[in-house]
């Protein structure tokens, strides 16, 4: 695989962009399980999203498995189809690679996250689908093994922002023996300006536009709304393992501080893939905060020789990535 050669030679490696936001834009089904349902109901859209990123010059595309484990799929009454969802998602990515004549040139990352199924019209985990810690751990192990058996080249852990859930996911991924790349989400704490794991309540730059008077609960990524220093998260996880660490699903203005903390606590390969997507709950529409040119310029401002793997998260299209790839050509 080309990405392995590039890792050794310190050449830049390009990840894809916001699969979920692109699937939604093309009409794919979204649900409390994010974009997971699209694998089943609109596979042609998922393939097209992958093909677009390959055409843009990406070395690695990410299977549509960010929110695809047993406890999340239970919110769709599809938990008995966990194997099918995960394996078919990897299969769709591989089909896109074949369609693009990029076999053995573009790799597939199997995405794993601590995402929990959300309440309808609320940005908070639905307690009906939050498993016990022991069951959660089993579900992560199951998902990681299915991704390996389905042919994923890398396990990409995304949006890690705490210690307890992140440790479970990391341990599950490491047991497969596949390369494990760890994506951390962070923000600047509005209460004391420290760098913390991403937190709706504490983030200075709001990623969610909503009327607080209409929300019964404070939006939260995890069942426990904890504020945890990014440094503590990194030190805990790097002591366990992982091949690559990076900052992702993070605003540009927070990313510089996140990358600084990461570099102070990690000496291995670094990846960076920011988000440029806000969501307005009143209109149910995404707000893209950077043009293609602005995205490339902002990335270049933050990328130095220590950052080898570059991509995008929510809101980042294939055109954003194409512009960025061309800057490094």
Q: pLDDT digit string (tens) for 62-72?
A: 999 999 999 99
* Rounded-to-integer distance, Cα 64 and Cα 67, Å: 8
pLDDT given for residue 120 in this prediction: 79
Residue 10 belongs to what H/E stretch? none
Please report, to the nearest 10 degrees, the dihedral formed by the alpha carbons of residues 284, 288, 289, 295 taken in order: 160
Residue 310 belongs to what H/E stretch? strand 307-310
> What's the predicted TM-score (pTM) here?
0.96
Q: pLDDT digit string (tens) for 198-252?
A: 998 899 888 887 766 666 677 898 999 899 999 999 999 999 999 999 999 999 9
pLDDT at 284 over 70: no
* Rounded-to-integer distance, Cα 103 and Cα 16, Å: 16
**2-327 has CATH 3.20.20.330 classification:** yes
In this structure, are residues 140 and 150 in contact, taking their beta carbons and an 8 Å threshold?
no
pLDDT given for residue 286 in this prediction: 77
Please tell me the total number of residues recorded for the chain in this structure: 329
In this structure, are residues 125 and 73 in contact, taking their beta carbons and an 8 Å threshold?
no
Give residue limits of the domains in the chain.
2-327
* Rounded-to-integer distance, Cα 272 and Cα 307, Å: 7
Residue 203 belongs to what H/E stretch? none
> Is residue 244 classed as helix, strand or coil in its secondary structure?
strand
Joined tokens for residue 222: 């995890």
pLDDT given for residue 1 in this prediction: 63
pLDDT given for residue 122 in this prediction: 79
Q: pLDDT digit string (tens) for 146-188?
A: 999 999 999 999 999 999 999 999 999 999 999 999 999 999 9
pLDDT given for residue 282 in this prediction: 65
């Amino acid at each position: 695989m080309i990405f392995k050669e590039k890792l050794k030679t310190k050449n830049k490696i390009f990840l894809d962009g916001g699969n979920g936001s692109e699937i939604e834009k093309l009409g794919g089904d979204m649900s409390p399980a994010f974009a997971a349902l699209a694998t089943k109901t609109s596979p042609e859209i998922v393939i097209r999203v992958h093909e677009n990123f390959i055409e843009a010059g990406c070395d690695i595309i990410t299977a549509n498995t960010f929110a695809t484990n047993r406890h999340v799929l239970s919110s769709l009454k599809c938990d008995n189809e966990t194997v099918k969802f995960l394996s078919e998602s990897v299969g769709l990515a591989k089909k896109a690679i074949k369609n693009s004549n990029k076999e053995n040139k573009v790799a597939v990352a199997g995405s794993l996250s601590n995402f929990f199924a959300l309440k309808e019209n609320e940005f908070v985990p639905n307690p009906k689908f939050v498993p016990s810690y022991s069951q959660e751990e089993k579900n992560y192990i199951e998902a990681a093994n299915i991704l390996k058996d389905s042919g994923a080249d890398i396990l990409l852990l995304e949006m890690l922002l705490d210690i307890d859930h992140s440790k479970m996911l990391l341990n599950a991924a490491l047991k497969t023996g596949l390369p494990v790349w760890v994506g951390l989400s962070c923000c600047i704490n509005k209460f004391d300006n420290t760098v913390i794991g991403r937190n709706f309540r504490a983030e200075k730059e709001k990623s969610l536009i909503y009327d607080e008077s209409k929300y019964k609960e404070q939006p939260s990524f995890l069942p426990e709304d904890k504020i945890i220093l990014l440094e503590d998260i990194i030190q805990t996880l790097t002591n366990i393992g992982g091949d690559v660490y990076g900052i992702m699903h993070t605003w540009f203005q927070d990313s510089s501080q996140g990358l600084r903390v990461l570099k102070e606590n990690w000496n291995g390969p670094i990846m960076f893939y920011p988000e440029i997507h806000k969501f307005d709950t009143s209109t149910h529409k995404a707000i893209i905060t950077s043009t293609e040119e602005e995205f490339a310029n902002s990335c270049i401002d933050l990328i130095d020789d220590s950052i080898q793997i570059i991509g995008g998260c929510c809101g980042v299209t294939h055109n954003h990535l194409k512009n960025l790839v061309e800057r490094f050509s």
